[in-house]
Amino acid sequence: MKKIFAAGTMAGVMLSFGLAAGPAMAQPVQATPDIPVDTTGPSSAGLAEALRRDLGISMAQFNAAGELGRRAAEAAPGLRTLPGFVGISLDAGTIKVQGVGPELRAKVDELNRSGHPDFVLVPPMATPAPTPAAPSAAALQDTPQASPPAPVLVAGDIDQLYRAYLRDVGPQGLQAIAYTGGHFVIRTGSVNTPESGTQTNQPEATPATSGPTGTGKMTPAQFVALYTNVKLEKGAAVKTEGDLLGGQGYYADNTAICSAGFSAFSPAGLPLVLTAGHCTADGLARQAAVEPPSWAPASGPGAATPQPLPPLAPLGTFGFSQFGGPGNSAAAADGSVAGTDIAVIQNIAPSVTPLPATTTWASPAAPDPVKIIGTMAPFQGQDVCRSGRTSGWKCGTVDAVGIWMMPGEKSLPPNYDNDLRPVRAFDSSTVKSAGGDSGGPWISGNFAVGTHTGAESENGVQTRAIAATLQDALAVLPGYQLELFLNKPAVTAPASGMAYQPGQQISGQVPAAPASAVAAGSSVRITFQGKDPFEVPVDAGTWTFTAPQDAGTLRFTAETVNGYSRSGANSFEFASASPPVPPASPAPTAPPATPAPSSPAPATPAPPASTATVPAPAVPAPADPSPMPPAETPAVVPPPAAGPATSAPPAGLANTGGSGDAGSGGLAYTGPSGLVPAVAGAGAALVIGILLTVIVRRRKRPSD
């Protein structure tokens, strides 16, 4: 991690996602007297210490919990499509699937056969437990409906329940609709107070369960009474966290301060930082600057004068942001789509290098960040930890997942519910947070789960922390990718220093450490000099490709890639185990050499290849021993007279080129010119034989 040097005195800045920055200067700003400043800074406790302190587990157990959550997240989309499905939760190393039905049972059995028998099918909660927030019968007598209807409905979807509630009850007084413990919970009835620099204590409003709100069709209690698996709870004040000065984080326009979340890439592959959307004041903020390390204004006697901040290192500019529904919209009675709380810091300063990691708030010299290898959905019962510039590391378990109503920019007293922004989120009563932690990362093992958005407090005591789900946040950023940690690939066969055989399998490994696994969907990009690169998949950390058949030295580079995430390349070189092959003789360009001309064909020649084209000469048997006239011996059909004369092909080669077919009456010329010497020789041999016969007969004739 690089260090930030500002005015020659600043050293070692660590944002919550592991920012690395270089020298930079900016104009100083002053903290105003009426803004309380947090001078404590983040806890120095690392993740391992936080896990022992808050959860009583080790790093290995935390990583195992992350892997369990990943398997649940992979199975969830298929489970949600099946009838009878209600929800998923994690408990004691198992994945509990709430629901009933044969299809759901068959799917759970199939998942358990995949090698990880972690899934357990459990029936959903049939009847909501009694709650103190439920109105009394006397209270219901003052409402449009004198008594709650008998439960007849079963809620099976957060979005359906959210839309129905806004339609029948309205957004006023609503704090959350969530899923936990096999049933759904609707929280209402408290004041949403934003945590601002001029925070004042506001009186709590009358609980929303006392009468009709919103559209006035029914009260929250009457709505909940319609469902067999929905419970009503009284909530506490919900507030965003992101506007206190001090500690570590980043400044939005040199005023509000938040924590950085995760590093990412734009659709064009440019580096980005993800944080909370409410930190941008509905998109009005323009510049982001890195908070100086270990800065705190003077305190104690004589410290009434506000102290100027040191020069700030620029981080980037704010791009897309959304807090609530599309276009920073508030919840409406028409059941508008629930949104998120996400912002993008783009145009990252050259002095800053975002890293796919979350700082553990250890010493600047040894930050030991937690590597991020993917994202997953949150589940009730999941072990999680969050990191922020104010309170450092805090860990706990997820209590509920759903839609939270967060106070927006236009929220006004006394109820602060005139601008409630619906955010898909999860909460935890065991994770603590503080002002300035907004935007910081929530993780489970090495997986990104959410970004911090706010907290719920009652009588000044925080009761739960709330985080926007990262998967839902990324859904409003099409084409954007989370940056993932990737190790460089290593070659395992052939071993280092050994030779290779052309055509053999070259295999290697992508190490996981210090992460728990290699990011899913990774591949290794192989590049030979002068050739186009190609990619081979990484399966359980291993990769292979076939070496080319060339017998020369094997040289290539290998780099682990996953979308726009890169590991950096390693270079490899292996000598060939095959002996050098001498240079081959150049291929002949002329016809091959012909053998020496042979003597004429034997006296008994083979018949011509085609008697239809070249008839055999007719040689009648002699009637008497007198020699036949020599003029009559040639019985060969001469070549056609028309056309130029052609040279005979070399001896021993068939003439199949048809070079003498002109004037042949359209018949293919198949080389009869090679038969002429043979036929002439046969005729000569016949004449000699007749003469010898005549001579012998004359010698045997008796003398007179």
Residue 590 confidence (pLDDT): 52
How confident is the model at residue 290, as a pLDDT?
A: 85
- φ, ψ at 107 (rounded to 5°): -65, -40
- Separation of CA 328 from chain center: 28
CA 25 and chain centroid, separation: 36
Q: Hey, what are 658's tokens?
A: 């048809």
**How far is 296 from 400, CA to CA, in rounded Å?**
36
Q: What are phi and psi of 103, to 5 degrees?
A: -65, -40
Low-confidence ranges of the chain (pLDDT < 50): 1-39, 127-146, 191-214, 242-247, 295-306, 595-688, 690-704
Outline where DSSP puts E strands in 528-615.
534-537, 542-546, 554-562, 565-574
Residue 497: what pLDDT?
A: 84
Tell me, yes or no, if the pTM score tops 0.85.
no
Query: What's the confidence (pLDDT) of residue 390?
Result: 86
pLDDT of residue 579: 64
Tokens, residue 524: 């290794």
Question: Residue type at 443?
Answer: I
- d(Cα 209, Cα 194) in Å, to the nearest integer? 22
H/E element, 61: helix 59-80
Give me the DSSP letters along 581-601.
PPPPPPPP-SPPPPPPPPPPP
Q: What is the pLDDT of residue 286?
A: 93
Check: CB of residue 292 under 8 Å from CB of residue 309. yes
